[in-house]
């Protein structure tokens, strides 16, 4: 890295009771309140239509909230248009200017701010090196691959050294391999720059891999804000649990001091109040492993999916179907139709309400 070093700017974000409705229908954002710390990799996660993109657009200034406040770096953003905010966006479609080559695309923001040409050239070169497109500067954007476009869009935003960088599903158009690679690269870049990133995605694995904290949105409301581990292991409700990829939900019939009565039998342990018990797939143990935990019952294997490192079993336990994920350690697995002993440890569980 020679020449201009990227300044370490980072700003906190405060969103207070922001509501936004479009014509007709339910509000896209319903009294959303959240705080993003300076230098944090913060992810807005949710299914399509949950309001995560709308929230991002409110931060960018592309949408004005109906009510509520937005502060960036302690400054109110009320009435501040997008071009006066030190916030830049990596758009989902990348939105690279077709009439400009890569260098001119990257320099656009600096040019609009009246930065001298020599400095634009220097900073563009530096950021292109950092994002791995140093050799593509004179290319036409139409000649670029999907991954290259993504990098140009990233460089075009980063070169302005914004207080906050917003990323709207920037990896969703890429194939799986490239995507995993860029997730890692993006995370590293964020750590290196110490910049505040707000990242939007509908992919819970992507969110877990990249984020310091995740806000899960459901129908315009914040369902939970926590670390990836917190959101995955202690989901706030059934919606969050389902969205994080959990499948094993057992209705709780009754709860007392020593355990709970459930649809699959009594489980001893210290459980919190709630309507459902969540069993993480890795918390369900079979046969010899099952004997190490107190809560055991019998189930029938209805499906078996070999996944290399692990094998997934679908288990019928009365009306309830459970999914177990077992590490493959060289021993023969269980056949479909076989009856197995299942053990559940209370450490792999959480209680949920609707």
Partner 1 sequence: MSAGRLENGLRAFWIVLLVFLYAPLAVVVFFSFNSINSSARFAGFSLQWYEQLFRNEAIVAALTNTVVLAMVSTIIAVIIGGLLGYGFYRYRLGRLSWLVWLIYLPVIMPDIVFGIAEMTFFVAINERLGILSPGLGTMVIAHVTFQVPFVALLVNARLLSLDPQLFEACHDLYAGPWQRARFFLLPVLRPAILSSFLLALTLSIDDFVISFFTAGPQSTTLPIYIWSAIKKGVTPEVNAIATLMIGSVFLVAFFSLLVQHGPSGGRPSKGGRRA
Q: Can you give the binding site for partner 1, defined by CB under 8 A?
A: 46-50, 52-53, 60, 62, 81-84, 87-89, 91-100, 108-109, 111-113, 140-142, 146, 149, 156-157, 160, 168-169, 172-173, 200, 202
- Measured from the CB of residue 51, what is the shortest distance to partner 1 in angstroms? 9
Bridge partners (DSSP) listed for residue 199? 43, 167
Query: Looking up tokens 């288990």, which residue turns up?
Result: 315
Q: Which residue lies nearer to partner 1 by CB, 156 or 213?
A: 156
Supply the minimum distance, in Å, between the C-beta of residue 28 and partner 1.
11
Report the residue number, 44 or 342, with the smaller CB distance to partner 1: 44
Q: Kindly state the smallest distance separating residue 191's Cβ from partner 1, in Å.
A: 24
Please state whether 341 falls in left (phi above 0), alpha (psi between -120 and 50) or beta. Answer: beta
Cα(32)–Cα(222) distance, rounded to whole angstroms?
6
Cβ proximity to partner 1, 10 vs 157, nearer residue:
157
| Cβ at position 210, least distance to partner 1 in Å | 17
Closer residue to partner 1 in complex, CB, 91/297: 91
Q: Which residue, among 213, 228, 220, has the nearest Cα to 37 in the 3D structure?
A: 213
Residue 312 beta carbon to partner 1: minimum distance, rounded to whole angstroms: 29
Cβ atoms of 327 and 285 closer than 8 Å: no
Backbone angles phi, psi at 316, to 5 degrees: -95, 120
Calculate helix-pair angle for 102-112, 117-130, nearest 10 degrees: 130
Cα separations (Å) of 124 from 100, 159, 166, 311, 321?
14, 6, 19, 48, 55
CB-based burial label for 153 (10 Å; 0-12, 13-18, 19+): buried
Is 50 or 342 the residue whose CB approaches partner 1 more closely?
Answer: 50
- Give the shortest CB-70-to-partner 1 separation in angstroms: 15
Whether the CB-CB separation of 59 and 36 falls below 8 Å is answered with: no
- Closer residue to partner 1, CB minimum distance, 214 or 342: 214
Q: How far apart are CA 202 and CA 245, in angstroms?
A: 12
- Residue 91 CB, nearest distance to partner 1 (Å)? 5
| Tokens 């476009």 belong to residue | 149
Of 175 and 261, nearer to partner 1 (C-beta) is 175
């Amino acid at each position: 890295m020679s020449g201009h070093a990227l300044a370490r700017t980072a700003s906190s974000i405060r969103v207070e009771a922001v509501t936004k409705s479009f014509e007709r229908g339910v509000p896209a954002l319903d009294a959303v309140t959240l705080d993003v710390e300076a230098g944090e990799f913060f992810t807005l996660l949710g299914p399509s239509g949950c309001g995560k993109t709308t929230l991002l657009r409110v931060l960018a200034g592309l949408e004005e909230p109906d009510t509520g406040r937005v502060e960036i770096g302690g400054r109110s953003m009320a009435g501040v248009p997008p071009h006066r905010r030190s916030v830049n966006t990596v758009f989902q479609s990348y939105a690279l200017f077709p009439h400009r080559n890569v260098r001119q695309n990257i320099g656009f923001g600096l040019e609009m701010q009246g930065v001298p040409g020599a400095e634009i050239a220097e900073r563009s070169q530096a950021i292109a090196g950092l994002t791995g497109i140093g050799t593509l500067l004179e290319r036409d954007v139409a000649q670029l691959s999907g991954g290259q476009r993504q990098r140009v869009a990233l460089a075009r935003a980063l070169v302005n050294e914004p207080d906050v960088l917003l990323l709207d599903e920037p990896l969703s158009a890429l194939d799986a391999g490239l995507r995993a690679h860029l997730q890692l690269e993006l995370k590293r870049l964020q750590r290196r720059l110490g910049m505040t990133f707000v990242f939007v995605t509908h992919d819970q694995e992507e969110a877990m891999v990249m984020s310091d904290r995740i806000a899960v949105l459901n129908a315009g409301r914040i369902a939970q804000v926590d670390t990836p581990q917190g959101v995955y292991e202690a989901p706030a409700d059934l919606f969050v649990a389902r969205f994080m990829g959990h499948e094993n939900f057992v209705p709780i019939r009754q709860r007392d001091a020593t355990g709970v009565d459930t649809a699959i039998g009594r489980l001893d342990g210290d459980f919190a109040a709630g309507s459902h018990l969540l069993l993480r797939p890795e918390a369900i143990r079979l046969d010899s492993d099952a004997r190490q935990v107190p809560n055991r019952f019998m189930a029938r294997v209805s499906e078996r999916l070999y996944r290399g490192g692990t094998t997934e079993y679908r288990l019928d336990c009365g009306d309830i179907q459970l999914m177990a994920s077992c590490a493959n350690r060289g021993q023969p697995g269980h056949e479909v139709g076989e009856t197995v002993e299942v053990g559940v440890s209370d450490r792999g569980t959480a209680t949920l309400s609707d």
